[in-house]
C-alpha cells in the first residue's frame, strides 16, 4: 500500500434514463448536477457505487478506473478489514438519487435465498443473487404506494369498490391472501380483469366531483397501460403515502411498493433485482412476486431522523448500509472522527472544502466522494449553508 491510496476519491457517476424520469425544466438530476437537460430526455436515477450496470469511476494515477477495480485491488484499505470480510471484498451498498415524474412499477424485492433461486432460474431478469432492502428519503416530497392496507382498511376498500371484490371472489380477511388472490385471478381470467377495470372506470367517471386521489390515479394510469394491467386494481389494495422533505420509508424484502412522484435519495443493498407485477411495459413476473410476498407486507412506518448532531441518522435493520444527513451552517468546520470502514458522501446543497494531510478538494451540489477506511483523519468546512448525505456500513 502506498500513502497516496489513503485520500478522498471524487466519484464520477452514471445517470439512468428510464422513461418515468423527470424531463425538461423539471428534471431534478440535471439541476442538481448543474447542466441543462437535453430536450425530451428523461433523467431518472443517478447511481453511486460499484454495481456493474453503472459503476462509478475514480481517478487513480492520472487515469479513470472503475471504483470496483480500485476496491478489488485494495479491499482492506478502501473498505476496511471488517467490511471486506463480511461482504466478500465488495462495497455492500448502492446509493442513488431518484427523480420520478411518472409512477414506477408496482414491485417487490426478494430476500437473499429467493434472490439466489431467481438468479439461477432467470439471470436475464434477475441479474444478481443478492437481496435489495432499501431506504427512500424525500428531498422535497414523495408520493408512494407502500405495503398492503390493513385488514380493516381492505374490508372497507372492497365494500367501496365491489368491482374489485367481485373479481377477487371469496378470500380470507388476511391482506396477503387478498392481494395474492387478485394476482392469481388476473393470471387465470385476463379478459375478466379488463372488463372489471373498464366497469370501475365507467362508474368513477360518472362522479368526477367526488373522486379521491387513488381514483384519479387509476383513471390516469388506465390511459397509459390499458385495462388489462393488474396494477390498476392493485392500486386500491396498497397504502397511498405522502412524505415531506426529510421523511423516509424503509422497504424490506417481499413488500409491494411503487414510487409515484417525487425526488429522493435512495440507498439499498448492492442489487438490481426487481420483481414487477404491474404498471410497467417491462417484464412482469406475477408468479415470482407471489413467491416472495412477505407474510408481514403491511403498512410501512414513516421514518424520521434521529438527531446525533451535526448528523441526523435514519435507523433501519439493514446490515449493508446506514444513511445519515448532515446540515451545516456556513463556516461550520468538522474534524471527522477516525473510522474503520468506507464512507460515501453526496452533496445536495451548498459548497464544502474537504481537506486531509496531503491535500484539499472543493465539492458542489451533485458531486460525491468516497472516504477510504485507511484515511485516518480529514476535515470538512462548509463554505455556505450545506446539506450532505453520508452512507456507511453499520458496525
- Specify the residue for cell string 471484498: 89
Assigned C-alpha cell, 127: 441479474
- In this structure, of 114-128, 153-167, 190-204, 297-311, the range with the lowest mean pLDDT score is 297-311
Domains of the chain: 10-148+240-303 (2.60.120.10), 151-236 (no CATH), 307-392 (2.60.120.10)
pLDDT in tens, 283-310: 999 999 999 999 888 899 999 998 877 8
Using N-to-C axis directions, what is the helix angle for 190-205 and 175-188, rounded to 10°? 110
Q: What is the DSSP letter of 21?
A: B
String of DSSP letters for 269-333: ES----EEEES-SS---HHHHHHH--TT--PPPEE-PEEETTEEEE--S-SS-EEEEEEE-TT-E
pTM to 2 decimal places:
0.94
From CA 264, how far away is CA 247, in angstroms rounded? 10
Q: What is the pLDDT of residue 338?
A: 77
269 bridge partner residues: 93
211 is catalytic: no
Q: Which of 31, 276, 324, 325 is catalytic?
A: 276
Q: What is the mean pLDDT of the chain?
A: 95
From CA 169, how far away is CA 220, in angstroms rounded? 26
pLDDT in tens, 5-50: 899 999 999 999 999 999 999 899 999 999 999 999 999 999 999 9
From CA 278, how far away is CA 230, in angstroms rounded? 6
Q: What are phi and psi of 227, to 5 degrees?
A: -70, -15
Q: What is the pLDDT of residue 173?
A: 87
First-residue to last-residue Cα distance in the chain: 24
> How large is the average pLDDT for residues 217-233?
97
Instruction: Spell 25-39 as b/e; 16+ CB within 10 A means b.
Output: eebbbbbbbeeebee
Amino acid at each position: 500500500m502506498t500513502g497516496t491510496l489513503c485520500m478522498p476519491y471524487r466519484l464520477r457517476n452514471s445517470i439512468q434514463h428510464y422513461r418515468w424520469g423527470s424531463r425538461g425544466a423539471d428534471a431534478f438530476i440535471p439541476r442538481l448536477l448543474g447542466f441543462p437537460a437535453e430536450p425530451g430526455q428523461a433523467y431518472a436515477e443517478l447511481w453511486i457505487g460499484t454495481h456493474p450496470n453503472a459503476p462509478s469511476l475514480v481517478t487513480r494515477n492520472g487515469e479513470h478506473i472503475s471504483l470496483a477495480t480500485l476496491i478489488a485491488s485494495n479491499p482492506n484499505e478502501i473498505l476496511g478489514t471488517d467490511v471486506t470480510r463480511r461482504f466478500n471484498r465488495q462495497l455492500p451498498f448502492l446509493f442513488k438519487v431518484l427523480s420520478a415524474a411518472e409512477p414506477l412499477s408496482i414491485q417487490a424485492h426478494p430476500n437473499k435465498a429467493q434472490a439466489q433461486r431467481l438468479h439461477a432460474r432467470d439471470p436475464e431478469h434477475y441479474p444478481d443473487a443478492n437481496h435489495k432492502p432499501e431506504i427512500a428519503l424525500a428531498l422535497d416530497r414523495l408520493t408512494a404506494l407502500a405495503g398492503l392496507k390493513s385488514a380493516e382498511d381492505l374490508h372497507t376498500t372492497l365494500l367501496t369498490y365491489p368491482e374489485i371484490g367481485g373479481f377477487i371472489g371469496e378470500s380470507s380477511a388476511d391482506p396477503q391472501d387478498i392481494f395474492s388472490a387478485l394476482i392469481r385471478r388476473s393470471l387465470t381470467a385476463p379478459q375478466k380483469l379488463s372488463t372489471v377495470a373498464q366497469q370501475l372506470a365507467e362508474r368513477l367517471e360518472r362522479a368526477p366531483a367526488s373522486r379521491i386521489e387513488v381514483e384519479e390515479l387509476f383513471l390516469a394510469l388506465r390511459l397509459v397501460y390499458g385495462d388489462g394491467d393488474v396494477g390498476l386494481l392493485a392500486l386500491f389494495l396498497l397504502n397511498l403515502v405522502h412524505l415531506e422533505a426529510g421523511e423516509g420509508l424503509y422497504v424490506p424484502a417481499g413488500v409491494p411498493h411503487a414510487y409515484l412522484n417525487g425526488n429522493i435519495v435512495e440507498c439499498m443493498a448492492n442489487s438490481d433485482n426487481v420483481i414487477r407485477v404491474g404498471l410497467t411495459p417491462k417484464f412482469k413476473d406475477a408468479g415470482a412476486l407471489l413467491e416472495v410476498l412477505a407474510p408481514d407486507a403491511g403498512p410501512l412506518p414513516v421514518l424520521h431522523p434521529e438527531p446525533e448532531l451535526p448528523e441526523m441518522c435514519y435507523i433501519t435493520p439493514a446490515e449493508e448500509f446506514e444513511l445519515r444527513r448532515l446540515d451545516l451552517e456556513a463556516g461550520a468546520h468538522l474534524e471527522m472522527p477516525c473510522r474503520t470502514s468506507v464512507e460515501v458522501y453526496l452533496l445536495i446543497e451548498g459548497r464544502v472544502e474537504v481537506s486531509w494531510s496531503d491535500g484539499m478538494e472543493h465539492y458542489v451540489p451533485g458531486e460525491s466522494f468516497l472516504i477510504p477506511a485507511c484515511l485516518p483523519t480529514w476535515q470538512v468546512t462548509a463554505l455556505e449553508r450545506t446539506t450532505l448525505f453520508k452512507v456507511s456500513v453499520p458496525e
